[in-house]
Amino acid sequence: MSYLVDSYYGETVAAAPVSQRVAFIRRTYAHLAGAVLAFVGLTAALISTGLAEQIIRDVFLASRMSWLILMVVFIGGSFAAQSMAQARRSVGMQYAGLALYVMLYTLLFLPILTIASDPKYGIGNPRLPLQAGIVTLAVFGGLTAAVFWSGKDFSFMGPILMVASFLALGVILSAVLFGFNLGLIFSALMVALFAGYIIYDTSNIIHRYGIGEHVAASMALFGSFAMLFYYILRIFLSARSD
């Protein structure tokens, strides 16, 4: 999920020799795997040491406006991280952007993962995040295979996804400000939205990115994968609460 739509740089993957295309795709998915493992490891460490609950108290529950402030920080930080990861930046800057991106998602996901993994909150179960993760991997793998198999360019989805994202953001901000529950239907719609982003991002990896933009490409995929997981986990939690 990239906020920097169609900002690619250099020779595109589609125009590169086969060997370079294969190398780019391998590097992209290797970096995606590394980002996911870093996210899982960092989150697990924060929860197991008790730091997650302290962060939730000090950051998320500090005031009524904490969630709104966090959303502003997350969106602004995401723009900054994606800008840092562009190929025209130094290699060190690109990896710093990826690290910042993973840390932002780790912070954003701490409350739901803490609740989902700890039975003391009433609906938690240590296996729940793993189950949601398996479903997310299955959906991600199926969509990825379908895009590669079709070979089609889905870049036309970019403006549609951006408009849908802004609408969803408006609903989320309203929920934060006025305190209403978004519910199961909203989570299902968001799963569909981020499934669309996975199709879009995967298509861009095949057709649109520059051959040196594997870090930026992996970040876009990581964001879509992470948000898909988030809303699948919300659906699991909603099912347990019912």
Q: What pLDDT score was predicted for residue 124?
A: 67
Q: At what angle do helices 91-117 and 128-150 cross, to 10 degrees?
A: 130
d(CA 127, CA 114): 12
Q: What is the structure's pLDDT at 157?
A: 94
Instruction: Determine the pLDDT at residue 58.
Output: 79
Mean pLDDT for 88-104 is: 91
Tokens of 134: 């398996």
Q: What is the 3-state secondary structure (H, E, C) of 203-239?
A: HHHHHCCECCCHHHHHHHHHHHHHHHHHHHHHHHHHH
Q: Which helix (H) or strand (E) holds 196?
A: helix 183-207
The residue-averaged pLDDT of 4-22 equals 69
CA distance 216 to 173: 27
pLDDT tens by residue, 113-170: 988 887 776 676 788 999 999 999 999 999 999 999 998 999 999 999 999 999 998 8
pTM, 2 dp: 0.90
> H or E stretch including 22?
helix 18-48
Residues 16-58 have pLDDT tens digits of: 788 888 999 999 999 999 999 999 999 999 998 888 888 888 7
Q: H helices of 49-156, where?
A: 51-55, 66-84, 91-117, 128-150
Which of 204, 190, 228 shows the shortest CA–CA distance to 153? 204
pLDDT at residue 5 greater than cutoff 50: no
